[in-house]
Amino acid sequence: MHTTREKKKLLNRVRRIRGQMEAVERALEDENGCADVLQRIAGVRGALNGLMAEVVEDHIQEHVADAELTTEQRSEGAAELIDVVRAYLK
């Protein structure tokens, strides 16, 4: 699905998010205040949105916009993208 370089970038983002979730876990275990915990959760949410934006962007470039795609491949890529947009905005 992705070029090797893209894949590596995405995996790095995923690992960072896993690290952030571990920090949320520690903050709860150590009974840090709610404000601290909520700020960390908001941070994970931001990072997750960034990951999603990057995956969607890759999808657009490789499965919808790429000049080499056949008409059928492009239609399929567009339909998948529209499903994602609808799921996300509903």
- For residue 3, state whether it binds its own copies (rule: CB under 8 A): no
- Measuring CA to CA, which residue among 75, 74, 57, 63 is closest to residue 9? 57
Cα–Cα distance, 28 to 12 (Å, whole number): 25
* Least gap, CB of 69 to its own copies (angstroms): 10
Instruction: Map tokens 């995405």 to a residue.
Output: 10
Query: Which tokens sit at 80?
Result: 């998948």
* Least gap, CB of 28 to its own copies (angstroms): 5
The site map against its own copies for 38-57 (x = CB under 8 A) is xx-xx-xxx-xxxxxx-xxx
Q: How far apart are the first and last CA of the chain?
A: 26
Residues that bind its own copies (CB under 8 A): 1-2, 7, 10-11, 14-15, 17-18, 21-22, 24-25, 28-29, 31-35, 37-39, 41-42, 44-46, 48-53, 55-61, 63-65, 67, 71, 74-75, 77-78, 80-90
